[in-house]
Structure 1
Amino acid sequence: MKRVRLVDVAEVAGVSTKTVSNVVHDYPHVAPELRRRVQAAIDKLGYRPNLTARRLVTGKTGMIALAIPEIDHPYFSELSRQIAEEAARRNYRVIIEQTLGKLEAEHAVLEDREAGLVDGIIFHPVSIGALSIAKLHHDTPLVLLGEGAMPATSDHVMIDNVAAAAEAVQFLLGQGRRRIAFLGVVEDDVTFSTDKRLLGYQQGLIEAGLDPDPGLVLSVQDFSSEASGEAVRAALERGVSIDGIVCRDDKFAAGALRACAAAGISVPDGIAVLGWDDTAIGKYTTPSLTSVAPDKSALASTALELLTERIDGFRGVGRHRIVPHGLTIRQSTPSVPSELPMPQGEPAVPSA
């Protein structure tokens, strides 16, 4: 099929190629009627701007890359949508790249593979270290997400995972739970998320005057719901006394709910289960799932704000931003006792 050119759009719209170019590049000083005619011609012909030519004219492609570990993980799927919607509000389109947390794939994100194709990159690293990012990151504007490497030269956006985990433990303690398990630790886990959430879990117990019990930190074979459910089942069969579970994510929590049901244990009466990420999973489990809720909208808007500032010429040192988190309360934990103090600045909000 013949490629539609700028001149073809101009001919159909009855305007100059300069006018078409002004509309394509969203210049403000175009009469509404001319803009309407040009847009109608663009839609009719299916014209798509040549990114290389656009970059030569404006210095920008209007595209950004989003590099995430797993496209099909509920948290990254929902966050990707938030970022794409926020990018669209800023007149950017998003290319999504999956790294699977593999070091070579994460290196490739930074080794100029996107040079000339995108104006900037939002990147959630898992395996790569801060020094490698500092060495490999050159000209393309970059914003990092997550709990991993935080080089001083790069912008970084995250929630406070340690504080969120401690607050989750305090929430369950406030309901009278004393045998709270952490689900869980995966062998060869290279992510920083688990480490920080486990640290916060221990912090919450210690601040309440309780000694963390290693027997309540459950080992999980892999990152699947099936494996997390198996870890809970095995613990219960060993006779481990558990009255609450803080899970590293909602997938693990879904496995925990299934294991409790299979063992004939009522949730939340017997064991309260608390997930993490507040994904759509939590609305449809039985019972519905209480979950730590990162503000995904704030993550997306803050990342795009920092990235567009970089694209527009900011060259300062890295800026590290902590965005809010909360707790979405559903049926897998009891309602909040009236005497339970909420974490400062982060009120728990009951949700259907």
Structure 2
Amino acid sequence: MARVRLIDVAELAGVSMKTVSNVVHNYPHVAPALRKRVQTAIDQLGYRPNLTARRLATGRTGMIALAIPEIDHPYFSELSRHIAEEATRRGYRVLIEQTLSDPVAERSVLSDREAGLVDGVIFHPVRMDSLDIAKLDSGTPLVLLGEAAMPVMTDHVMINNVSAALDATRHLLARGCRRIAFLGVVAADITGSTNQRLLGYQQGLLEAGVQLDPGLVFTASEFTAEAGLRSVVEATERGALFDGVVCRDDRFAIGALKALHDSGRSVPGDVAVVGWDNTFLGAYTSPTLSSVAPDKAAIAAAAFSLLEERIAGYRGVGRHMIVGHSLEVRESAPIAP
């Protein structure tokens, strides 16, 4: 079957090739009725833009890359959906790359950008530090996500993890909890977020005049629900007394809920539990899970806005944007009566 050309769409829609091009590139100054007619012709013929021709004509491909540590992590899968939806609204397509927090894979995200496949990159690094990123910066527009590296010349979007953990701890304190645990610390953790969340938790306790107890900072072997379950079981077996838990992610929180259920302790009656990331899992646990909720849609919108400004030619110092968060209150830690 012959490839459908721009001129074929123009002839079917009865418009100029320039008008079709304006619709394809999502330019705003096209009358709604005209845009609908062109889009109908595009859909009818199955027209797909020629990316090579587009790059030769405009210097752009209309594609961006999204590099994340884990595709199957609930937080990253939900964030990816928001970024893909934002891309569609802005007329871009997204290539998703999984790094598995491997340093070689992370460096490849930056060093391979010179191939010209994408107009820009949204990247959540874990292993790479600011100097690594600065050394590999090829000039291709880049926006970073997460709590790790923040190079001076690179844009960066994140939530305030310290403030969010402080909010979660205050919520449990308001319920009357005084023996609040933190789940948890993983050996050789290189994510950058755990320490910030631990700090916010500690600040909340000190603010309320509650003495810090190192025995209530639980350790885990890895970032899984199973590891969270084992951590709570081990803490209980060694005699740790706690009436609340701030978890560094929803997977740990789900493990904690099961461990408490298996031991006969009620949630939230005996122990109130707060997770983190407000992933879809929390609405289906028993009891349903209260969770720190990063504004994923705002993260996606902020990252894309910064990236588009870079694509358009901005070459200034990096902008570091803090987006909002909230606490999704459900059954595992309801508001105090």
> Partner residue of 2:68?
68
Q: Please list every run of 5 or more consecutive structure 2 residues that lacks an aligned counterpart in the other structure.
A: none
Moved more, 188-197 or 43-52: 43-52
d(CA) in 2 for partners of 1:224 and 1:114?
36
> Partner residue of 2:108?
108
Q: Deviations over 1:305-331 (max 9, x none)?
A: 111111111111001111111111111
d(CA) in 2 for partners of 1:35 and 1:165?
47
TM-score, normalising length from structure 1?
A: 0.89
d(CA) in 2 for partners of 1:296 and 1:125?
17
Q: Give the letter aligned to residue 298 of structure 2.
A: A
> Partner residue of 1:345?
none
Moved more, 155-164 or 27-36: 27-36
**Paired residue secondary structure (1:144):** strand
> Partner residue of 1:340?
none
Q: Deviations over 1:273-325 (max 9, x none)?
A: 11011111111110011111111121111111111111111111001111111
Q: Give the letter aligned to residue 207 of structure 2.
A: E
Distance 1:86-1:14 versus aligned 2 partners, 3 A rule: closer
d(CA) in 1 for partners of 2:27 and 2:235?
63
> Partner residue of 2:77?
77
d(CA) in 1 for partners of 2:237 and 2:248?
22
Matched, 1:169 2:164: no
> Partner residue of 1:121?
121
Q: Give the letter aligned to residue 40 of structure 1.
A: T
Contact kept in structure 1, 2:26 and 2:90, CA below 8 Å: no
Q: Deviations over 1:5-34 (max 9, x none)?
A: 334445555666555444433456667776
Moved more, 77-86 or 9-18: 9-18
Displacement, 1:206?
Answer: 2.1
d(CA) in 1 for partners of 2:266 and 2:147?
34
> Partner residue of 1:132?
132
d(CA) in 2 for partners of 1:37 and 1:177?
62
> Partner residue of 1:97?
97
Q: How many residues align?
A: 337
RMSD: 2.0
Identity %: 67
d(CA) in 1 for partners of 2:29 and 2:259?
63
> Partner residue of 2:3?
3
d(CA) in 2 for partners of 1:176 and 1:33?
60
Q: Deviations over 1:64-123 (max 9, x none)?
A: 111111111111111111111122221222211111111111111111336422111111
Moved more, 128-137 or 202-211: 202-211
Q: Give the letter aligned to residue 95 of structure 1.
A: L
Distance 1:44-1:195 versus aligned 2 partners, 3 A rule: same
TM-score, normalising length from structure 2?
A: 0.93
Matched, 1:215 2:221: no
Distance 1:16-1:301 versus aligned 2 partners, 3 A rule: closer
Q: Give the letter aligned to residue 322 of structure 2.
A: I
d(CA) in 1 for partners of 2:253 and 2:184?
10
Distance 1:108-1:176 versus aligned 2 partners, 3 A rule: same
Contact kept in structure 2, 1:65 and 1:94, CA below 8 Å: yes
Aligned ranges for residues 17-32 of structure 1 at < 5 Å?
A: 17-27=17-27
**Paired residue secondary structure (2:112):** coil
> Partner residue of 1:190?
190
Aligned ranges for residues 1-352 of structure 1 at < 5 Å?
A: 2-10=2-10, 12-13=12-13, 17-27=17-27, 35-36=35-36, 38-113=38-113, 115-337=115-337
Displacement, 1:177?
Answer: 1.2
Contact kept in structure 1, 2:249 and 2:276, CA below 8 Å: yes
d(CA) in 2 for partners of 1:228 and 1:42?
51
Displacement, 1:267?
Answer: 0.3
d(CA) in 2 for partners of 1:260 and 1:30?
59
Contact kept in structure 2, 1:277 and 1:293, CA below 8 Å: yes
Displacement, 1:39?
Answer: 3.2
d(CA) in 2 for partners of 1:150 and 1:225?
30
Contact kept in structure 2, 1:52 and 1:116, CA below 8 Å: no
> Partner residue of 1:341?
none
d(CA) in 1 for partners of 2:129 and 2:335?
41
Distance 1:273-1:25 versus aligned 2 partners, 3 A rule: closer
Q: Give the letter aligned to residue 184 of structure 2.
A: G
d(CA) in 1 for partners of 2:294 and 2:262?
30
Displacement, 1:60?
Answer: 2.0
